[in-house]
Amino acid sequence: MKISFVSLVLILASCSSNDTAICDCLSSGEKLEKFSAEMLKREATTADLSKMKKLKSDQMKKCKEFQTMDGAKMLELKESCK
């Protein structure tokens, strides 16, 4: 599975205790990345594909407002995370 640059940036950033929305976004990206990595190691089942679609949808919904966030702002949020 190919991960977009925006998704990668969101995954690599961390959560800000002051901004739970970005924390939710990053958490959903991490879940998607972990599941994607697991699927690459085996043959995907119908249930796996369904779960992948659900995780992707969840990530897109939670990260929509951050898609165009400036890289410097992302780094700032990453630094403020715990």
82 lies in a domain? no
Report pLDDT for 2.
53
Its domain, for residue 16, covers: 5-66
52 lies in a domain? yes
Report pLDDT for 14.
42
76 lies in a domain? no
58 lies in a domain? yes
Report pLDDT for 24.
84
Report pLDDT for 48.
95
53 lies in a domain? yes
d(CA 35, CA 75): 25
* pTM for this prediction: 0.67
Over residues 18-75, the pLDDT tens digits come to 367 778 888 898 999 999 999 999 999 999 999 999 999 999 998 888 788 888 887 7
| Structural domains of the chain, count | 1
Give the burial string for 45-55 (b: 16+ CB within 10 Å, else e).
eeeeeebbeeb
**How is residue 11 written in tokens?**
């995954």
79 lies in a domain? no
Report pLDDT for 47.
95
